[in-house]
Amino acid sequence: MMLEIKGLKVKLKEEDKQILKGVDLSIAPGTVHAIMGPNGSGKSTLSYVLSGKDGYEVTDGSAMLEGADLLDMDPEARAAAGLFLAFQYPVEIPGVGNMTFLRTAVNAQRKARGEAELSAGEFLKIVREKAKSLKIDADMLKRPVNVGFSGGEKKRNEILQMAMLEPKMCILDETDSGLDVDAMKLVAEGVNALRSKGRSFLVITHYQRLLDHIKPDVVHIMADGRIIKTGGPELALEVENNGYADILAEVA
Partner 1 sequence: MALAKLKTDTTQARLAGLVLPKGAGWATAARADALARVQQMGLPTKRDEYWRYTDPASLTVAAAPEAAVFVNDETPLFDAVDRIKIVFVDGVFDADASDDLTGENVQIERLADAMARDIHWAKDLYGVLETRSQTPVERPLAALNTAMATDGVVIRATGDVARPINLIYLHADPKSDVALHNLVKVEAGATVTLLETGPAAARLSKVLEVDVADGGAFHHVRAQGRDHERRAVTHCFSRIGADSTFKSFTLTFNGVLTRNECVIEIVGNDAVAHVAGACVGDGGDFHHDDTVFVTHDALNGESRQVFKKVLRNGATGVFQGKILVKAGAQKTDGYQISQSLLLDDDSQFLAKPELEIYADDVACSHGSTSGAIDEDALFYLRSRGVPIDEARNLLTLSFLAEALDEIADAALAEDLRDRLEGWLSRHR
In the complex, which residues of this chain contact partner 1 (CB under 8 A)? 51-54, 74-76, 78-80, 84-85, 87, 90-96, 100-101, 104-106, 108-109, 112, 144, 161, 165
Which CB atom, from 76 or from 250, has the smaller least distance to partner 1?
A: 76
Minimum distance, C-beta of residue 112 to partner 1, in the bound complex (Å):
7
CA distances from 71 to 52, 68, 74, 125, 189 (A): 7, 9, 8, 35, 31
The alpha-helical segments, DSSP class H, found in 67-226 are 75-81, 98-112, 120-133, 138-142, 151-165, 181-194, 209-213
Q: How far is the CB of 85 from partner 1 (least distance, A)?
A: 6
Closer of 7 and 94 to partner 1 (Cβ): 94
Both ends of the chain: CA-CA distance in Å? 30
Closer to partner 1 by Cβ: residue 36 or 106: 106
Nearest distance from C-beta of residue 5 to partner 1, angstroms: 18
DSSP 207: -
Q: Output the smallest distance, CB 76 to partner 1, in A.
A: 5
Please name the helix (run of DSSP H) or strand (run of DSSP E) that holds residue 86, with its range, or none.
strand 83-86
Residue with smaller CB distance to partner 1, 165 or 236:
165
Q: What is the CA radius of gyration of the chain?
A: 18
- Shortest Å, Cβ 95 to partner 1: 3
What's the CA gap between 156 and 63, in Å, rounded?
28
CB-nearer residue toward partner 1: 114 or 249:
114
Backbone angles phi, psi at 116, to 5 degrees: -70, 145
